[in-house]
Amino acid sequence: MVNLNGKKAKIDYPCQWQYKLIGRFEELIKDDVKKFLNNKEYKIEVSNKSKKGKFISLNLFVTVQNEQARVKIFNQLSNSQVI
């Protein structure tokens, strides 16, 4: 994250973090999230659907303990074949 001064923004951990997920199949996305987050508590909700219904976006909310955990989840989600 970068603020207007070009410096990295300070994040106070632990905190709730939101990830935006976009894919074609809601259930497959939810299955991947469940697999990646194991037993962590999280909330996932539909954010939007494309006009033709081909794509869906979801918001994932999860508490992260530190920068390493936040980035790890991001990388796992980024490497998903369905997101």
CA–CA gap between residue 30 and residue 37 (Å, rounded): 11
Answer yes or no: is pLDDT of 2 > 60. no
pLDDT digits (tens, 9 = 90+) for 5-27: 677 788 999 999 999 999 999 99
Both structure tokens of 70: 């936040």
Residues 54, 18: Cα–Cα separation, whole Å: 23
Task: Write down the pTM of the prediction.
Answer: 0.86
